[in-house]
Chains A and B, each alone.
Chain A
Amino acid sequence: MYYIDPHIHMVSRTTDDYETLAKMGCVAVSEPAFWAGYDRGSVAGFRDYFEQLTRFESQRAADYGILHTTWLCINAKEAENVTLSREVLAMLPEFLDRPGVLGIGEIGLNKNTRNEAIVFLEHLDLAMQTDEQLLIHTPHLEDKYQGTRMILQMLSDDRRIHRDRVLVDHVEEHTVRPVLEQGFWAGITLYPVSKCTPQRAVDIIELYGPERLLVNSAGDWGPSKPTAVPDFILEMRRRGHAEQAIRRVVYENPLEFFSQSRGFDFTPPVN
């Protein structure tokens, strides 16, 4: 089955991973800008990173028949530095019209601080001025519930936002309902320990239905599994879900969401 991984950090993965993904049916990925594992020292570091995301990475993916798309921002962890964040925000528009750029992301909260919220709001404002879609990271572990509610609050307070152009990512059982009820897209991340297993992801699909739900591996430089979406497909099959229902979640939903971005130019594989 063809599928799309809507959240994976391929700059942290090897070319062998591209080959494996391609063999498993992956035809497109979307890569949000995120934290490198260390704080970048200057705006120039971000410019280089955006260059890598928009030029080199798309070429590396194309060699395996995978469309690479991306989202740009300063991530929530480095957003604690408001001065640097504002420099990055001022530079971002240089890159937003490049091919494959789907919008602004993954912005969000990390420890739910005032500085993180300030930078989140400034990203929202830029996205509204430049008509970009949004991909939003919700915090980890004990901070997730509080951070998700804060994010939903900031989104709802901004009347300019079209909710069907916003993906709130890393939902779990305690955050998925408000995200979907308020009309946003929700992403489920399949992580070995800190987020959702494929089994729990299928539980969520069974409880809420497939509408506006995406699943991703969020593969990165930490413990994660770039082939987690095929694990989800297998679990759906084991439970007897129809191929069409599986395809809706892992292929048609990301296509529907991404197609709202002017930077998305995807040619479906010929059957």
Chain B
Amino acid sequence: MSSAANSQQLIAREYLPLRAKILEIGAALDRLERVGGDVSQHDGWRQLQQALEILQRCPADRAEQLLMHFSRPYQDRWRAEWGL
């Protein structure tokens, strides 16, 4: 099968599930806003906003980039610092 045929098949299959997931995100953000109050200073809220930007900005490896965004950093001197 050509890659063009493959891509047509894939988008046909992924369209509805992806549409549903994007709608879920929209509805959840609406829900948070409807409750009122200010969530803009909540760490989780800021992380989610930045994650949405990553989705828009990254041309590839989006899942990996998103996971890195949600991760604590690693520093390689930890063993020496802890005397292990």
A: which residues have CB within 8 A of B?
Answer: 112, 114, 117-118, 121, 141-146, 149-150, 153-154, 157, 172-174, 200, 203
- Residues of A close to B12: CB separation below 8 A: none
B72 to chain A, nearest CB (A): 5
- Residues of B close to A149: CB separation below 8 A: 74, 76
6 closest residue pairs by CB, A with B: A145-B71, A174-B67, A173-B64, A149-B74, A173-B63, A146-B74
Residues A117 and B84 in contact, CB atoms below 8 Å apart? yes
- Residues of B close to A118: CB separation below 8 A: 84
B: which residues have CB within 8 A of A?
Answer: 61, 63-64, 67-68, 70-74, 76, 78-79, 82, 84
Residues A145 and B72 in contact, CB atoms below 8 Å apart? yes
9 new A-B pairs (CB below 8 Å) besides A121-B84, A174-B67? A114-B82, A142-B71, A145-B74, A146-B71, A149-B76, A150-B74, A157-B79, A172-B63, A173-B64
**Number of A-B contacts defined by CB within 8 Å:** 45
Between A and B, 21 residue pairs with Cβ closer than 8 Å are A112-B72, A114-B84, A117-B82, A117-B84, A121-B84, A142-B70, A142-B71, A142-B72, A145-B67, A145-B68, A145-B71, A146-B71, A146-B73, A146-B74, A153-B76, A154-B79, A172-B63, A173-B67, A174-B64, A174-B67, A174-B68
Chain B, Cβ-Cβ closest to A172: B67
- Residues of A close to B71: CB separation below 8 A: 142, 144-146, 174
Residues A153 and B68 in contact, CB atoms below 8 Å apart? no
Chain A, Cβ-Cβ closest to B70: A142
